[in-house]
Chains A and B, each alone.
Chain A
Amino acid sequence: MVKVEIRQIIVVTDGKSNVGGNPVTAAAEAYRENVIVNAIGIMDDRGSDDDSLCEVEKIAQMGGGIWENTIIQNLGQTMHVVTQKTVNKTIETIVGKQLKAIMGKDLEDMPPKVRSKVIDYMEQLGEEVNIKCCILMDCSGSMKNKMSTARQSIIELMHSLKGRKGKNQVAVISYPGQNGEFTALISDFTENIGALKDKVFGLKAGGTTPTAAAINSAVTLIKGINHEELEDVVRNSEPLLKESMV
């Protein structure tokens, strides 16, 4: 059986990036490094402006990932769905390539009844694949009333991943960080729910939305570079785009 590790970022945001570079280019770069960038837009009851929804879509498109817009109450479920779809997509691509090599056709070119055996195999792969998931939590001022649900949703995702057979690691980065930093590492990659539970209480809202810087830090973290270098990446991130300023 193939050994694969899925490396994904889930960007959670309730508004448009307004400082620290262009998140869409950052997502494209992450994807080039084999890190999938998914994006979830948090909508208000009043509905959100089209600009920020559009950014969420573009981040995921360039990041090879999936995007969803949802209300904060459904964040936990949405993170599950996004992860599930990423796993399915990745496995479909891998198995699809193998099928093409062996049989010369795609899965969809087979009759539905023949597919089901391949799908069983894909399901099994999906269960066993290792997942490294870095959650980027928007902690800008507008998230203030949503933080407790956001924390709960992260724990919920962990409970969801733990239901699988493969190894699951979750890290959490908040953006912005505190004291004017673009990002803060809330929790490094861990498999331990208890440890994560304690750490997510460090998520506090207030400040700007430096989405690009957050994506860059996540890629660095996933690739396993130490934190001094990480700060460099943040500082050297691309110049601010004018239209993305507040």
Chain B
Amino acid sequence: MNGIKLYPGDILWGKWNKNGYKIIHLLGMGGIGKVFKVQDIKTNQICALKISKEMQSITKEYEMLNKFDYIGLVPKVYEIDDFYYRNDRLYYIAMECIEGKNLKEYIMKKPVNIKATIGLTMIIGKAFRILHKNGFIFGDLKLENLMIDQKNNVIKIIDLGGVTAIGSSIKEFTPLYDRASWNMGLRRGDEKYDLFSLSMLITTLLLQEQCSPQEMTVDKLIKKMKDMHIFSKLVELIHKGFKQKDISFEEFLIHLEKLYRKDLYQWKKNKKYTFDKKNRTVNVIFISSILLFVGILYKCF
């Protein structure tokens, strides 16, 4: 969004809670606003401020961050407020600042191996199941929205702006992961919408490149993966996920888990994807994420 011009050193004061924040630097920008790393003036705490002109979107995201705080994979949220800046009214949420790289930046430097890819998808998928059971879908899944929290060695889902009530229309999305952009379904909140985006997430991790829905079809992506000799059970499962027929979100996860546990020997056959030592850090992170997650699941049910 081009309208928000804040620079390092700028200080802003919330209208309602009277908290002040000093801008440190820009962390990123998306469809509805910008995220800055800031310092709370009263407490000196470092946090992230998501700032936008869209009141509806910011208010919804604040609600969702609060609601799904217990999943543990989302940043802690501190407050919601607004302020005037050069005749503009801007809305913001203050939340935990996660130090680390997002997954897109991460894989550019170090490709993620196939087992870690499946493990990661499982963690995300299980978090989504909790949302589904509560009547919501995640919506705007993408590599950029997944952060490796270096302090705690876990995966964090950083943007809940796309969370949509089941049955409502999708408002925020990214074409690469959006089934309507691939001509594979409506922009409506149902489990299958998340199934498609999750399948695309595995695909981008496996192909190690991002394709454009204008230049590709889902079938071409499947063919590409087959040509790379990625083992066929996984490719077939992804294909089913893309088509969203004959498979539920839950079944998709069950199949993934089976592949994760049983088919280890097949990765060993395929040299390209054997465990390499360079990938150790990422594996540690995934394993600790899984452990954390299992703990949370026990707490929830």
Contact = CB atoms under 8 A, between A and B. Distances in A.
Bind each other: yes
Contacts of A149: 214
A107 B189 CA distance: 27
A76 B56 contact: no
A77 B80 CA distance: 28
A37 B181 CA distance: 24
- Name A's interface SS: helix
Given A108-B89, A111-B16, A163 B56 contact: no
Contact of B171 (A73, A84, A111, A152): A84
B274 to A, nearest CB: 37
Given A76-B181, A81-B31, A108-B89, A162 B186 contact: yes
A160 B212 CA distance: 18
Contacts of A163: 169-170, 180, 186-189
A92 B89 CA distance: 15
A164 B169 contact: yes
Contacts, number: 78
Contacts of B60: 119, 123
Interface residues of A, number: 30
Interface string B33-65: 000000000000000000000111001101100
A112 interface: yes
Contacts of A112: 16, 59, 62, 80-82, 91
Given A112-B82, A156-B183, A119 B55 contact: yes
A122 B168 contact: no
A160 B187 contact: yes
A192 interface: no
Contacts of A74: 175
A1 to B, nearest CB: 16
A151 B183 CA distance: 12
Interface string B159-199: 00000000111110101000011010111110000000000
B54 A159 contact: no
A123 B60 CA distance: 10
Contacts of B187: 80, 159-160, 162-163
- Name B's interface SS: loop
Interface in A140-181: 149, 152, 155-156, 159-160, 162-165
B40 to A, nearest CB: 18
A25 interface: no
A108 B60 CA distance: 15
A142 B191 CA distance: 41
Contacts of A165: 167-169
B300 to A, nearest CB: 24
A119 B170 contact: no
Contacts of B62: 112, 116
A108 B55 contact: yes
Contacts of A238: none
Interface of B: 16, 31, 54-56, 59-60, 62-63, 80-82, 89, 91, 167-171, 173, 175, 180-181, 183, 185-189, 212, 214
Given A77-B175, A160-B187, 7 more contacts: A84-B171, A115-B55, A119-B56, A159-B180, A159-B185, A162-B186, A163-B189
24 contacts: A73-B214, A74-B175, A76-B175, A76-B180, A77-B175, A81-B31, A92-B55, A108-B89, A111-B16, A112-B16, A112-B59, A112-B80, A116-B62, A116-B63, A119-B55, A123-B60, A152-B214, A159-B185, A160-B170, A160-B180, A160-B187, A162-B186, A164-B168, A164-B188
Interface of A: 73-74, 76-77, 80-81, 84, 88, 92, 107-108, 111-113, 115-116, 119, 122-123, 127, 149, 152, 155-156, 159-160, 162-165
